[in-house]
Amino acid sequence: MMKKSSGPAFRAAQIDLAKCLACHGRAVISGVFHELACVQCNASGWVAVETGDPLPLEVLVTQLSIRLQAADHQIEQLKRSALLGGPATQYDENNRRGPGATNFTGD
Ligand SMILES: [Zn+2]
């Protein structure tokens, strides 16, 4: 029996994207009367860096998802570091330490 290949492997690897030059990453082009979907980038605003071609829609969706997830992750990390090490935390600590030290008179 022949080993059956199940078609091209699904690739979730990230492809380097560049902003579409035709629409400057806006995904739409200003027409005479209204904005038109940019055909150079499949109306995504992004093209493949290597070829400058628009990605097929089924690839594009995954690539945009990967980028969105990465961006979300980055936002969460920034939020967390702001909560843990931000100026608000230091202020609370100083405030707690301050009155105890200065108000103790001992008489
Ligand atoms: Zn475009």
Report the separation in Å between the CA atom of 56 and the middle of ligand 1, taken as the mean of its atom positions: 13
Report the alpha-carbon distance of residue 65 to residue 3 in Å, rounded. 33
Evaluate whether residue 52 is within a structural domain: yes
The count of structural domains within the chain is 1
Report the separation in Å between the CA atom of 81 and the middle of ligand 1, taken as the mean of its atom positions: 36
Report the separation in Å between the CA atom of 89 and the middle of ligand 1, taken as the mean of its atom positions: 45
pLDDT in tens, 25-83: 999 999 889 999 999 999 999 999 999 999 999 999 999 999 999 999 999 999 999 98
Evaluate whether residue 44 is within a structural domain: yes
Give the range of the structural domain holding residue 42, as residue numbers without chain letter. Answer: 17-82
Evaluate whether residue 34 is within a structural domain: yes
Query: b/e per residue, 22-31, with b = 16+ CB within 10 A?
Result: ebebebebee
Angle made by CA atoms 84, 74, 77, in degrees to the nearest 5 = 15
This prediction has a pTM of 0.60
Report the separation in Å between the CA atom of 9 and the middle of ligand 1, taken as the mean of its atom positions: 28
